[in-house]
Structure 1
Amino acid sequence: MIALVDMDCFFAQIEQLDNPQWKNKPVAVTNGQLGSTIITSSYQARAFGIHTGMRLKQARQLCPALIQAPSRPQRYAQVSRQIMSSLLAITPDIEVYSVDEAFLDLSRCQQLYFGASDIGQRIKRRVFSVSGLRCSVGISGDRTTAKFAAKKDKPDGMRVIHPALAEQTLAPELVTALSGINKGIASFLARYGIICCGDMKRVPMSVLAKRFGHLGRRIWLMAQGKDPEPLSYNVKPPKTIGHGKVMPPQTRDKNVVLIYFQHMSEKVAARMRCFHYQAECFFIAAKTDQGWLKTKTHAGFYTDDGRVIYQLCQQFLQLYWSGQGVWQVQVTALAPQQGKQLDLFTEDNQQRQQVNTAMDNVNHRYGEFTLAPARLLDKSAMPNVIAPAWKPGPGSPRDYFL
């Protein structure tokens, strides 16, 4: 018995909770007061067609009464940690899937309750009691079907799909209704006539396994309500540590583009230092009218220094950018490692490490970019947002921000 707890428009709901005058009103959360893109929105705003990723200007055209709420990631992290900790009273077998979702394996504690519906209602009451927020709960025999069930009756819903009825329930649903099946996978499946989950059994599992490996075998079973993937109770080390930033459309001023790249470089470096990670290879990209300009570049040594990463960004622009309008930048450390010996043999590198340590200490105490390269000091008005893969755990909530 697997349950998925899915908070309803989590960030927006917290803003409405903390600002009672916004209750039942259209609210959109943006990355700071200056943020121009919507992170999430309340259901009242969604009724106007407003969605995540939409520009605030366009959203106001759809809903002139839209309330803009600057994101408060520390508050969201605090509430998420309270909710996830409280769920341990239901079962100790919990996988925190994201900041607003958690899987609960209820198999070992079923006898303590009065069936799936009873457990689901207890979960909802517990979440509300510790946070004042509503959630939706889906319960079934595997994680994919439970996640599907949780989405069906949002907001404030609960649906139970008995494992014996899972295949029958999923059969008429589009394969894209299942978590993990994106447009690319769906396009491949469509070539074999697999549009709905019920079509999956017409094709041998080996066809999907040959194309996608283990994932293909899993997808074949997922569509029949038999996802074999167990819950994961440990937070896995990150495969990447990255930051991206949307900028004013058609930005052609090289100095402005460099400022954004430096901003992202320093954020990546600070986050790596926070968790004692270093990286040697970096993905650097800029979105333009002609698509993404991108490259993987090597520093030649493991580093957690924003200055080194920024130098790679400067080289990237010099080699790949010819002045076209830029819409977005991205800097990502690839395959970060812990415990790597940094290059500390030169006096300059030792001084840089001391500078970074002092800067981190000040910024952790007084706020991000209290100390920073001079032209980034005004960037403190751009708060962080919580990473999709944020996991509540020991330590300060600031440790988990993007």
Structure 2
Amino acid sequence: MNTAQRIILHLDMDAFFASVEQVDQPSLRGKPVIIGGLSDRGVVSTASYEARPYGIHSAMPMATARNLCPHGIFLSGRRRRYAQISRQIMAILQDCSPVVEKASIDEAYMDLTGCERLLGPAEDIARSIKDRIFHQHELTCSIGLAPNKFLAKIGSDLDKPDGLRVIPPASVPEFMASLPVSKLPGVGAKTVARLHELGISTCGQISQFSLEFWEAKWGKRGRALFYLAQGQDDGQVVPRRKAKSCGAEDTFARDTADRETIKTWLLEQSEEVGRSLRKIKSRGRTVTLKIKFNDFQTVTRNRTLAQPTDCTQVIYRTVCGLLDEMRLSKSVRLCGVSVSQFQARQSQLSLFPEQNSPRDRNLDQAVDTITAKFGNRALVRGAVLSLQTREPSEPKETK
């Protein structure tokens, strides 16, 4: 690849959660392993490659996965273990470049521009990363190398599992000409259908129409589509993206319209969000309640506080107030809590002691100390013990 061009690497771990389980439990190797919520209300997070020939994929309802592969091995997963391995993999990447952007728990971008002078050709760097990950963790990954982020991501998906695809700048026009439009980022099923109505199925066919045509047809979206179809993307690799929000949500095992039951869930979620905020030393001013009804209609309500908070009780009282103001015309399937509009935590006298009282702060500190030592379930509020059946959705990372 030409060193005058940007060199972007995208790494994607292969069936990450399921692969970690197969490494930690060798008896699972070669068997269909499905990770996700174990009740019929749950969804698949990851499926091993042995499970995929049965048609199982992420975001599929767990009930469907069980019907497709009744002899599969179904596990709820171990979030802490996956996060531990993820941190170690990210450390390997940072040994090669200071510009690493973690896109999710199992994927990342790297800007290798200029690294070749120190570490050799980009393809050799990529192979070295793959070798180190396999040597240390017995896990495989797929890597794409390209002049920009979106082409690198596409490349990492082409030869899975354990793939390495290089897309040199000179080959981009040829590569894009035959690439299906469904591979473009942000192009979903509805857009694909609209493009098919125009007789367009590849990126090369998009480029046959002028920029003015696409701008007239779809405005800014049409302009972005035109440039992506030519393989152009100016997106930068942004290391250590600052958190913008922190949230937790759960799908109930059974739909409910009982407000007290919902408030019990909100208490546990407020505790999780408050603990996460205190861990990253941030406070937020906007508290949001999310409700999803049994017909999948989703409603959110938020309130901006007079001062930022990381206090569990303040978060909980706020979302309860929002729930009290909401009319529950149908049974509820899911509820969630999030806090945003962050400000760095500072030690200063509160102008509103009724919001962040010393008693609440001392309680939070005591709970944090116990859970840090003995785990999140070591200390549970009495109200939360009433939750006999818990079917959590996939936990949300801080964004």
Report the TM-score when normalising by structure 1.
0.84
Pick aligned residue for 1:48 from 47, 54, 63? 54
Q: Using a 3 Å threshold, how does the CA distance of structure 1 residues 104 and 209 change in structure 2: closer, same or farther?
A: farther
1:97-116 residue CA offsets vs partner (Å, 9 max, x unmatched): 22211222233133567755
1:300 aligns with 2:296: no
| Structure 1 equivalent of residue 3 of structure 2 | none
Contact map agreement 1:94 1:104 (CA 8 A) in 2:
yes
Distance of aligned partners of 1:276 and 1:389 in 2 relative to their CA distance in 1, 3 Å threshold: closer
Match of 1:352 among 347, 350, 360: 360
Runs of 4+ in 1 over 6 A off after TM superposition: 32-35, 187-194, 209-212, 378-384
Structure 1, residues 235-270: CA drift from partner, whole Å, max 9, x if none? 122222111111124323333222222222221122
> Do the aligned residues in 1 keep the contact of 2:243 with 2:398 (CA within 8 Å)?
no
Q: Name the counterpart of 1:25.
A: 31
1:285 aligns with 2:290: yes
Map 1:302-317 to 2 at 5 A.
Answer: 302-317=308-323
Report the number of matched residues: 388
Structure 1 346/327 Cα, relative in aligned 2: closer, same or farther at 3 Å? closer
Q: What residue in structure 2 maps to residue 257 of structure 1? A: 262
Residue 140 (structure 1) aligns with: 146
3-state SS, counterpart of residue 320 of structure 2: helix
8 Å Cα contact 2:155/2:167 also seen in 1:
yes
Mapped contact 1:116–1:160 kept (Cα < 8 A): no
- How far has the Cα of 1:95 moved from its partner? 2.5
Question: Partners of 1:212 and 1:345 in 2: how far apart?
Answer: 50
Pairwise CA distance, 1:29: 1.7
Query: Could you list the per-position Cα deviations for residues 75-114 of structure 1 after superposition, in whole angstroms to 9, with x for gaps in the alignment?
Result: 2122112222123444444322222112222331335677
User: Are the counterparts in 2 of residues 86 and 130 from structure 1 also a CA contact under 8 Å?
Assistant: no
Rounded to whole Å, the distance in 2 between the matches of 1:26 and 1:317 is 42
Residue 271 (structure 1) aligns with: 276
Q: Secondary structure at the match of 1:51?
A: coil
Contact 2:288–2:319 (8 Å) recurs in 1: no
Give 1:197's aligned residue: 203
How far apart are the structure 2 equivalents of 1:232 and 1:323?
A: 43
Aligned mate of 1:170, from 176, 183, 188: 176
| Aligned counterpart, 1:37 | 43
Cα distance 1:90–1:293, how it changes in 2: closer, same or farther (>3 A)? closer
Counterpart amino acid of residue 211 in structure 2: P
Question: How far did 1:320 drift?
Answer: 2.4
Using the alignment, how far apart are the partners of 1:320 and 1:169 within structure 2? 52
Output the amino acid matched with 1:356. D
- Confirm or deny that 1:246 pairs with 2:251: yes
1:170-189 equivalent positions in 2, closer than 5 A = 170-183=176-189
- Cα shift at 1:358: 1.1
Q: 1:206 to 1:377 in 2, by over 3 A?
A: farther
Tell me the equivalent position of 1:74.
80
**CA–CA distance in structure 2, aligned partners of residues 184 and 338 of structure 1:** 41
Q: What is the CA distance between 1:12 and its match in structure 2?
A: 0.7
Which runs of 5 or more residues in structure 1 are unaligned?
A: 391-402
> Identity, % of aligned pairs?
30
| Alignment-mate amino acid for residue 204 of structure 1 | L
- Residue 98 of structure 1 aligns with which residue? 104
1:135: Cα distance to partner? Answer: 0.8
User: Do residues 110 (structure 1) and 132 (structure 2) align?
Assistant: no
CA distance in 1 between counterparts of 2:371 and 2:310 reads 16
* Partner deviation per Cα, 1:306-359 (whole Å, 9 max, x = no partner): 222223333333332335221111212132222366555359812111111111
Q: AA paired with 1:4?
A: H
Q: Mean alpha-carbon deviation: is it higher for 240-249 or for 170-179?
A: 170-179
SS in 2 for 1:44: coil
| Aligned counterpart, 1:65 | 71
Distance between the aligned counterparts of 1:187 and 1:296, measured in 2?
Answer: 33
SS in 2 for 1:321: coil
Matched, 1:221 2:200: no
Q: CA deviation at 1:134?
A: 0.6
The whole-number CA distance in structure 2 between the counterparts of 1:33 and 1:20 is 25
Alpha-carbon distance change, 153 to 61 in structure 1, aligned in 2, over 3 angstroms: same
Distance 1:285 1:143 in 2: 32
Residue 279 of structure 2 aligns with an amino acid whose one-letter code is: C
Inter-CA distance 98–145: structure 2 relative to 1 (3 Å threshold): same
Q: CA deviation at 1:46?
A: 2.0
Residue 379 of structure 2 is aligned to residue 371 of structure 1: yes
